[in-house]
A and B are shown apart, each in its own frame.
Chain A
């Protein structure tokens, strides 16, 4: 199966080529995908650990099982600023 990866901000600058469709094994979870991105050298672990994941534009937990054609966005910490 394949999912549509979306990267933003600093992540997209580091790995512009990953903002594309990506082949995954059936039954892959969000956590499994993040581990694969690190293992394949796509994104550094430190950034992945600080990021959140959205599946089909909703925040998703690491245990979420991905389905064919899902849109999976890796979201670095949002713009923040001191209160």
Chain B
């Protein structure tokens, strides 16, 4: 299992090669990349920041749960921080498994859960200004009842 936050570019091809083992029938890869626009507004770059200690703990938890709950063999989960340009990989998930169904399901679950619970934020720099991206509302078990 490899879980990391890094400022250097993510080498997707090397990580895919590294994870494979003889018992695997599939690896499923989610390669999240920087899009050139948000709702039609042209993006120059994104700046990612994290609550690093907590994000790493949460990411390790997701990888552990993916292995335990979906029965996959191994997971790579790497997120990049700092300034990213259009087309660069911001998050890479690789799930290795004997069969494809579990690999697809686990990969989808990891990215969907990461996007809601792992404390990483992005600021979008557009041609005409910058904004922090609207995050997704926290799941109820995290947000708690504040009113």
Of the listed residues B135, B137, B147, the one surrounded by the most CB atoms of chain A closer than 10 A to its CB is B135
Q: Contact partner of B51 among A31, A73, A79, A81, CB < 8 A?
A: A73
Q: Contact partner of B119 among A10, A13, A49, A78, CB < 8 A?
A: A78
Q: A62 — which chain B residues lie within 8 A by C-beta?
A: 144-146
Asked whether A69 is an interface residue with its Cβ less than 8 Å from the other chain, the reply is no
Report yes or no: A52 in contact with B121, Cβ–Cβ below 8 A.
no
The interface size of chain B toward A, counting residues with CB under 8 Å, comes to 29
A32, chain B: closest CB distance, angstroms: 11
Contact (A81, B115) CB under 8 Å given A9-B49, A75-B51: yes
**Which residues of B87-124 have CB atoms within 8 Å of chain A's CB atoms?**
112, 115-123
Query: How many of chain A's residues touch chain B, expressed as a range?
Result: 20 to 34
Q: A6 — which chain B residues lie within 8 A by C-beta?
A: 51
Asked whether B8 is an interface residue with its Cβ less than 8 Å from the other chain, the reply is no
Report yes or no: A77 in contact with B115, Cβ–Cβ below 8 A.
no
B122, chain A: closest CB distance, angstroms: 5
B142, chain A: closest CB distance, angstroms: 5
Q: B119 — which chain A residues lie within 8 A by C-beta?
A: 8, 54, 73, 75, 78
Residues of A within 8 A of B (CB): 6, 8-10, 13, 30-31, 34, 48-50, 52-54, 57-63, 73, 75-81, 83
A55, chain B: closest CB distance, angstroms: 10
Asked whether B1 is an interface residue with its Cβ less than 8 Å from the other chain, the reply is no
Q: B86 — which chain A residues lie within 8 A by C-beta?
A: none
Q: How far is the CA of A26 from the CA of B117 in the complex (A)?
A: 30
A48, chain B: closest CB distance, angstroms: 8
Q: B116 — which chain A residues lie within 8 A by C-beta?
A: 78, 80
Q: B18 — which chain A residues lie within 8 A by C-beta?
A: none
B95, chain A: closest CB distance, angstroms: 17
Q: How far is the CA of A83 from the CA of B110 in the complex (A)?
A: 12
